[in-house]
Amino acid sequence: MTFIRTEIPDVVIIEPTVHGDARGYFIETFRQDKLEHFLGYKINFCQDNESKSSKGVLRGLHYQLHPSAQTKLVRVIQGKVLDVAVDIRKNSPTFGQYVAVELSSKNKKQLLIPRGFAHGFVVLEDDTIFAYKVDNYYSPENDKGIAFDDEHLNIDWILTHDEIKLSEKDTKQPKLNETNYLFEYGVDYYA
């Protein structure tokens, strides 16, 4: 298992070791001890989620406010997505910047998105199955979002605006500079 810091160092790509032969393959998708050693802090995942989507579905950009903030460990079981994490920590040197990583059933990469980031993904193949772990339970009253097409973020979602399919909720998300629901850089949201 290899851990790779991205251009925003708190967002981490995880590449599992694939053991394959004529019968198929085997991978460890999660090792808490190795992840905690790499990160330097404890993490306790408590909920697993899974979605199945058709090509063009965009889910995000979502996050949970403190005290329900969530770290996510995301991966694709079947298909392919472009996965995006946006730094929404005020006064962070990377505030408003994002990391985009292609996750697929072929490359088996995973992305760790820490607390203080908005997360979203766009589905690039039909019948894509997306799975993720979170370290805090979902809280409807702390559920927030940012507009996927915020021109200040300038995210390249690969697909055209006409190809993107959104939920009703995601058509009404505010732009990053229009929300007061953010995180503070330097605050330990794991304490």
Cβ-contact 168, 58 below 8 angstroms: no
CA distance 53 to 26: 25
Q: Flag whether 83 is marked binding.
A: no
| Residue 83 within a domain | yes
| Residue 60 within a domain | yes
Give the residue numbers marked as catalytic.
Answer: 62, 132
The one-letter code for the residue type at 21 is: D
| Residue 22 within a domain | no
Helices (H) and strands (E) in the chain, counts: 1, 15
Record the pTM.
0.95
Q: Flag whether 23 is marked binding.
A: yes
| Residue 38 within a domain | no
Domain limits for position 144 = 44-184
Residue pLDDT, tens place only, 128-139: 999 999 999 999
Q: Which residues pair with 104 in a beta bridge?
A: 80
CATH no. for residue 72? 2.60.120.10
Q: Flag whether 143 is marked binding.
A: yes
| Residue 19 within a domain | no
Overall number of domains in the chain:
1
Q: Which residues pair with 19 in a beta bridge?
A: 26
Q: Flag whether 31 is marked binding.
A: no
Residue pLDDT, tens place only, 93-148: 999 999 999 999 999 999 999 999 999 999 999 999 999 999 999 999 999 999 99
